[in-house]
Amino acid sequence: MLRVATSLSVEPYNYTDASMQPAGSDVDTAKLLAQDLGVKLELVSTTVPARLPTLQSGKADLVISVLAITPERKEAIDFSTPYSVNSNVLIAPKAVSIASYADLGFGLITSS
């Protein structure tokens, strides 16, 4: 049995379809992995914030989900080679001047 944690709230990667079944590319990846390993798959539905605690508590064997690789996370868990890469961009009218994170007005963001 392979227990894979994923959050079913991040379309198109994982969601619940019209038949109320788990679907999406992360779900498909979990199914293929279980098939390749020759084991049954158990999807462990979790929230986005609970993905790592679900893994660390042993409630899942691995997580297949949108998950940024950060230095802090690298200290706590192992990562596979990424199978998907997303780029985040900020789009604004030309008249908006953004020179730093501070210009965005998000008090929690700091540059590294």
Write the pLDDT tens digit of every residue in 63-109: 998 888 889 999 999 999 887 777 778 888 888 888 887 777 765 54
Q: pTM of the full predicted structure?
A: 0.74
How far is 14 from 37, CA to CA, in rounded Å? 21
Q: In angstroms, rounded to a whole number, what is the distance separating the alpha carbons of residues 69 and 8?
A: 20
* 52 domain residue, yes or no: yes
25 falls within a domain: yes
- Report if residue 61 sits inside a domain: yes
Distance between CA 44 and CA 55 in Å, rounded?
A: 10
List Cβ neighbours of 34 (8 Å cut-off, separation of 6 or more). 2, 4, 40, 41
101 part of a folded domain: no
Confidence tier at 112 by pLDDT (50, 70, 90): very low
pLDDT at 81: 87
- What contacts 62, CB < 8 A, 6 or more positions away? 2, 3, 4, 5, 55
Distance CA 44, CA 10 (A): 15
- The number of folded domains in the chain is 1
Domain of residue 63 covers 2-76
Average pLDDT on 13-37 reads 94
CATH assignment at residue 15: 3.40.190.10
pLDDT (0 to 100) of residue 100: 81
Does some domain include residue 47?
yes
